[in-house]
Amino acid sequence: MGVLQGLGADLVFAQDVSGHYLSFYWQAADRYGLDARQIVGHTLDYSFGPVAVAAYLERVKQVVDCLMPQRLSCKFKFRDRFFAFDLVISPVLVSQEIVSTVLVMGRSISFEGPTDSSEIEAAADTEGIAANSALLPSSARYHRLLSQIARNIRRRLDLDTIWQQTVHGLGYALDVSRCLLCPYESSSESLTVVAEYCPDDIQSMLGLELHFATDPSLHQALKLLEPVAVEFLPAGDSWQRQSVLVVATCYQDQPNSFILLHQCDRARQWNASEIELVRELADQVGTAIAHATLFAESQALATEFQRLNSDLMEKHEELEAAWAEAEQASQLKSEFLANTSHELRTPLNGIIGFLKLILDGMADDPEEQTGFIEEAHRSALHLLEIINDILDVAKIEAGKMELELGPVKLLELFQDVKDFIGKQADQKNLSFQLQVPATYDEVVLYGNYQRLLQVMLNLVGNAIKFTHEGGVTISAKVIRGQEIFKDMEFPGLVEVRVADTGIGVSLEKQDKLFQSFSQVDGSRTRQYGGTGLGLVISQKLVEAMGGEVNFYSLGEGLGSTVTFTVPLYQEPVIVSAEQMV
């Protein structure tokens, strides 16, 4: 009690943030029959306390949160009497612990009087509390407030966070109606509000554009690079501002944003401590914004560098893959040339050999001579077939393959295949069946007849070559549905299927079937001859006619099935059963 009495104030007490008295001294307590010892431990509304307890405790909370003392006028009540005090509320700091206690010192404005006393009403507002100043000019807590806000923003390297920390910290500490922050770029004629502090009952300005030409305080703050205080704005201000404080934040004497403080509920005289606080904080904010901007730019550069590096690595991988593919293609071509030279020499040697026998008179009779000529003719046809395959691949790869497309009768195509190649199946004792859809009218395809025949001879020839027992079945079916090819509309597709019971192809080797210059078995001593171009040529020809080729095999020894599609020229009337050719 003696310590509190020695502080030289009419009213001195300590309390926690919840409103409990921790100590109490009032100079006039004895005069009004108040036992101060009975108040300690009780809440503010126990017997002696503020008229507006909630508003008063809100001020206490502000002091604790900001660690800044506040001065205010407050009306107290004891029994049926009212007393007005000019108070200073200061936070009580104990080492680094969280502050939860304040010291309140008051000077009496009027010791007693009725509720309508003019002296009391002049000193206290209708709620019993009136602020004199948000900051005490001589307060040592001024530097603590500046350090706290500066520390909060300097910890951050994110512009949005810095902006929000600035407006909330400064707006709350100075108890203004509105605190705005607007980024600034050199030679800009306007500013955009990106961060704002204001209570719910104050009109928001977030996102609005402010122009230097229409706001003299902004223009002056930019020109002077010093805080500009306006205490009384002309009546009719569109945002109901009565007082304004504006300052530009700078880094190395270059402005990078503006902080605007608005007092909307009253005309406010900005004191020297408040202006100095805003000035010093503006320097801290300007530096923080510059650092955050540099950090954001460095991050953007790092991200761009990472993207470019990733693109470079991707290109490098693509080049490596292309190089590997080129090497593989070169190797395949080398193998192909080696195998093809063997394929070319075989029929050529046959032609030369049989003609040499005839020229040397080795034929015993005309019948044997005719046999030699027939063998030479077959070898020549085989040689021509190989050369045609090579030329077709060259044309396809050079993009010089031109096809004239038109109607093709499916039955006629199947019949020619049977005539050309059926005997090969008979020579190997293989069954050979051709099946077409049962229709009242003919199935007509859209394609090139010679090339379709070439495709079928390739596929059927392979099927017979790689089949030793069983047989080969050729079938077709109509797939209805609208198809568009070369800007023409067709009623569907025809799928041709060539199935055999031959040696099949293992699953891991099937992807090589449609590679140019590739064979499933590329060695010279392989059991089956051929250039390995049949499926590749067939695929390219079918694709040029608007279809696709597919190969199916469950594995070695399980046979193979090759299908291809071409557009259906006209839709036939289908009967239930298939017809045999």
The secondary structure of 206-268 as a DSSP string is: TT-EEEGGG-HHHHHHHHH-S-EEES-PPTT-TT--SEEEEEEEEETTEEEEEEEEEE-SS--
What is the arithmetic mean of pLDDT over 55-77? 86
Tell me the C-alpha distance between 468 and 429, whole Å.
Answer: 8
* Whether residue 186 has pLDDT greater than 50: yes
For residue 370, give both structure tokens: 């005719």
Cα(516)–Cα(391) distance, integer angstroms: 13
What is the rounded CA–CA span in Å between residue 473 and residue 462?
Answer: 13
List, for residues 318-372, the tens digit of each pLDDT value. 888 888 888 877 776 666 666 566 667 777 888 898 888 888 888 888 888 898 8
Question: Lowest mean pLDDT: which of 30-34, 113-117, 201-205?
Answer: 113-117
Compute the half-sphere exposure of residue 518: CA atoms within 13 Å on the CB side of its CA.
Answer: 15
Res 138 pLDDT > 80:
no
| pLDDT band for position 13 (cuts 50, 70, 90) | very high
Higher pLDDT: 378 or 534? It is 378
Residue 512 has pLDDT above 70, yes or no: no
CATH architecture of 2-133: 2-Layer Sandwich (3.30)
Which pLDDT value is given to residue 146? 66
Q: Could you give the CA distance from residue 540 to residue 545 in angstroms, rounded to a whole number? A: 9
The per-residue pLDDT for 577 is 54
> Looking at residues 37-54, what average pLDDT do you find?
90
Beta bridge partners of 191: 210
Which pLDDT band, with edges at 50, 70 and 90, does 118 fall under?
very low
- pLDDT at residue 188 tops 80: yes
Indicate whether 1 pLDDT > 60. Answer: no
Q: 309 pLDDT band (50/70/90 cuts)?
A: confident
Give ranges for CATH 3.30.565.10 in the chain.
Answer: 402-580
Q: Is the pLDDT of residue 488 over 70?
A: yes
pTM of the model: 0.41
Q: How high is the pLDDT of residue 575?
A: 66
- Tokens 């859809």, located at residue: 437
The β-bridge partners of 477 are 495
Q: Are 499 and 561 in contact (CB under 8 A)?
A: yes
Neighbour tally for 9: CB within 10 Å: 21
Residue of 302 and 470 predicted with greater confidence:
470
pLDDT, average across residues 370-379: 86
Q: Where in the sequence of the chain do the CATH 3.30.450.20 domains occur?
A: 2-133
d(CA 262, CA 180): 8
How much is the pLDDT for 194? 92
- Residue 113 pLDDT level (bands cut at 50, 70, 90): very low
562 Cβ contact list (under 8 Å, min separation 6)? 459, 462, 463, 497, 498, 535, 549, 550, 551, 552
Q: What is the DSSP string of 433-462?
A: EEEEEEESS--EEEE-HHHHHHHHHHHHHH
Residue 347's pLDDT is what? 78
Locate CATH 3.30.450.40 in the chain.
141-298
- The strand pairing partners of 13, in sequence order, are 24, 104
Judge contact between 433 and 474, C-beta under 8 A: yes
What local confidence, expressed as pLDDT, does residue 137 receive?
A: 42
* Residue whose structure tokens are 């920390």: 165
Domain 141-298 of CATH type 3.30.450.40: yes
For 272, list phi and psi in degrees, rounded to 5.
-60, -35
Is there a contact between 12 and 1 (Cβ–Cβ < 8 Å)?
no
Candidate ranges 24-28, 152-156, 326-330, 569-573; pick with highest mean pLDDT: 24-28
The domain made up of 402-580 has a fold known as Heat Shock Protein 90 (3.30.565)
Q: What is the reported pLDDT for 122?
A: 39
Cα-flanking dihedrals φ and ψ of residue 474, to 5°?
-110, 125
Spatial neighbors of 320 by CB under 8 A, at least 6 apart, are none
Percent pLDDT > 70 in the chain is 81
**Which residues, 6 or more positions from 357, have their beta carbon under 8 angstroms from its beta carbon?**
363, 372
pLDDT digits (tens, 9 = 90+) for 410-467: 999 999 989 888 888 888 999 999 988 887 788 999 999 988 988 888 899 889 989 9
From the list 106, 118, 117, the residue with the least C-alpha distance to 74 is 106
pLDDT at 288: 84
pLDDT band at 117 (very low <50, low <70, confident <90, very high): very low
Instruction: Render pLDDT for 83-110 as a digit per residue (tens, 0 to 9).
Output: 888 888 888 876 556 788 999 998 887 5
Q: Report the SS3 class of residue 540.
A: helix
Stretch 47-75: mean pLDDT, rounded? 87
- Of all residues in the chain, the percent with pLDDT exceeding 90 is 24
Return the higher-pLDDT residue of 468 and 157: 468
Instruction: Pick the range with the lowest mean pLDDT from 1-5, 89-93, 123-127, 257-261.
Output: 123-127
Residues 483/493, Cβ–Cβ less than 8 Å:
yes
- Based on its alpha-carbon atoms, the radius of gyration of the chain, rounded to whole angstroms, reads 50
Examine the pLDDT at 125 and tell me if it is beyond 60.
no
- 59 CB-contact burial (10 Å; exposed 0-12 / middle 13-18 / buried 19+): buried
Reported as a pLDDT band with limits 50, 70 and 90, residue 261 is very high
CA 299, CA 422: separation in Å to the nearest integer?
73
pLDDT of 566 reads 94
* Residue 314 CA: distances (Å) to CA of 153, 305, 311, 323, 375: 40, 14, 5, 14, 57
DSSP 127-146: TSEEEEESS-TT-THHHHHH
The per-residue pLDDT of the chain, averaged, comes to 81
